[in-house]
Amino acid sequence: MSHPTEILSKGHYRARFAQGEHDLSAAQRLRSHCFGISKLDRDRFDDSCHHILIEDVRSDTLVGYFRVLHLVDGANVPQSYSAQFYDLSRLEKFPGPMAEMGRFCILPNANTPDILRLSWGALTCIVDDIGIQMLFGCTSFAGTQADRYLDAFAVLRHRHLGPSQWLPQVGSPEVFEFDQLSQQKPDMKQAMLQMPPLLRSYMAMGGWVSDHAVVDVEMNTMHVFTGLEVATISASRKRLLRAVAD
């Protein structure tokens, strides 16, 4: 995919592709800060991804970030970051282009709805440019204690589990299986407060999740596999996304 540096800008913020080692190092430092890990957050997938920076143009400050790994089709899913944690053999049958969105983070003291909105607008530009048919990734909950998120996990189990033809199976030694919550009646207000903004956005567009959360001690998170088939996004939601992208 060829691209200009800037993807789009709105108000006080711009989204652009990282250029060179300086930009990538800044992104990795932001990732470390947002995920609360002491070492520089870098991994082998960085070399294969497009890195998108969200900057405050008033101060030229990096306030948000995500990376995108383009996969030609499902046969390439084993090359993804998510495949380390989930058995994605069912998704290997997906016939069209896919993209894994990862390491999404927003600087805590700059967390405004505009940054998330611009991030989705930038991602929409990339999806349209490549012709992506499915987005997926690991959506993180801070910390590794499932008790903090029981209402959110119960809502995910009752309303947002993925279709059986694509649903990931357990591929990690330490997981929290949502079937434990089959009898729990969740508090919807608490569930929405517990869910990360990125996950709420996925769900609003018709996204779905795995039937379990993976405990990732190294990143100090629990995460759920999240999928979104582009064709299933409602026409009204697509108009909103493209209004930002345009």
Cβ neighbours around 239 below 10 Å, total = 9
pLDDT of residue 4: 55
HEC profile of 77-145: HHHCCHHHCEECCCHHHCCCCEEEEEEEEECHHHCCHHHHHHHHHHHHHHHHHHCCCEEEEEEEEECCC
- pTM equals 0.93
Contacts of 41 (CB under 8 A, 6+ apart): 28, 31, 32, 35, 103
- 13 falls within a domain: no
Q: Is residue 77 part of a domain?
A: yes
State how many domains the chain has: 1
Question: Model confidence over 67-109: pLDDT tens digits?
Answer: 999 999 999 999 999 999 999 999 999 999 999 999 999 999 8
Residue 4 domain-assigned (yes or no): no
**Domain coverage including residue 187:** 67-245
Give the chain's residues under pLDDT 50. 1-3
In a domain, 183, yes or no: yes
Is 43 among the domain residues? no
Give a yes or no: residue 177 inside a domain.
yes
Torsion of CA 173, 156, 153, 151, to 10 degrees: -170
What is the pLDDT at residue 112?
Answer: 85
Residue 70: per-residue pLDDT: 97
- pLDDT at residue 111, as a whole number: 72
pLDDT at 110: 87
User: Is residue 56 one of the residues assigned to a domain?
Assistant: no
Within-domain flag for 33? no
pLDDT at residue 2, as a whole number: 42
The pLDDT, as a whole number, for residue 67 is: 98
Q: Which helix (H) or strand (E) holds 245?
A: helix 235-245
- State residue 48's pLDDT score: 97
Residue 246's pLDDT is what? 67
